[in-house]
């Protein structure tokens, strides 16, 4: 009896899913395991005070960040699909039940609020 081998992901991986599905956690784990960079899309989207750049500026930031040899993105921005999916060799779609995502989101948000964790560019959840 031979074991079935799981496919090995490539070097350009897009992790997508709803809020609270674990995109950032999985992307970070994959990036560390594979020795490639994690491109956290929210970090490119949100500036100080939760400010957001115009969509074209955001798209340019992402396109520039993806010019490296290997990366894992985490995020679900439809405006970026043509940029990310065109270059990705692997797409991981996290599709958990609503209650799983809701519980994760609630725990994460409460932890961030209580501990005043810095997210991106000195932003914190309130």
Domain that holds residue 94: 12-115
The residues with which 93 forms a beta bridge, in sequence order, are 16
- Residue 3 falls within a domain, yes or no? no
114-122: long-range contacts at Cβ-Cβ below 8 A with a sequence spacing of 24 or more? 119/42, 119/46, 120/40, 120/42, 120/43, 120/46, 121/43, 121/46, 121/47, 121/48, 122/48
Residue at 75 is within a domain:
yes
CATH number for 53:
3.40.50.300
- Strand pairing class (71-74; 37-40): parallel
Q: What is the pTM of this model?
A: 0.84
24 located within any domain: yes
How many domains does the chain contain in total? 1
Averaged over successive runs of 10 residues, the pLDDT of the chain (126 residues) comes to: 66 94 94 95 94 96 96 95 95 94 92 89 86
Give a yes or no: residue 85 inside a domain.
Answer: yes
In order of 24, 87, 103, the CA distances from 75 in angstroms are 8, 15, 19
């Amino acid at each position: 009896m031979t074991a079935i081998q799981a496919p090995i992901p490539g070097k350009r991986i897009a992790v997508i899913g709803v809020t609270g599905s674990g995109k950032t956690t999985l992307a970070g784990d994959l990036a560390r395991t594979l020795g490639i960079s994690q491109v956290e899309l929210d970090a490119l989207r949100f500036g100080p005070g939760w400010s957001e750049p115009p969509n074209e500026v955001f798209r340019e930031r992402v396109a520039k960040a993806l010019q490296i040899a290997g990366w894992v993105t985490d995020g679900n921005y439809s405006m970026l699909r043509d940029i990310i999916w065109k270059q990705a060799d692997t797409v991981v779609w996290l599709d958990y039940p609503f209650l799983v995502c809701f519980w994760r989101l609630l725990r994460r948000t409460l932890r961030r609020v209580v501990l005043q964790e810095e997210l991106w560019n000195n932003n914190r959840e309130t």
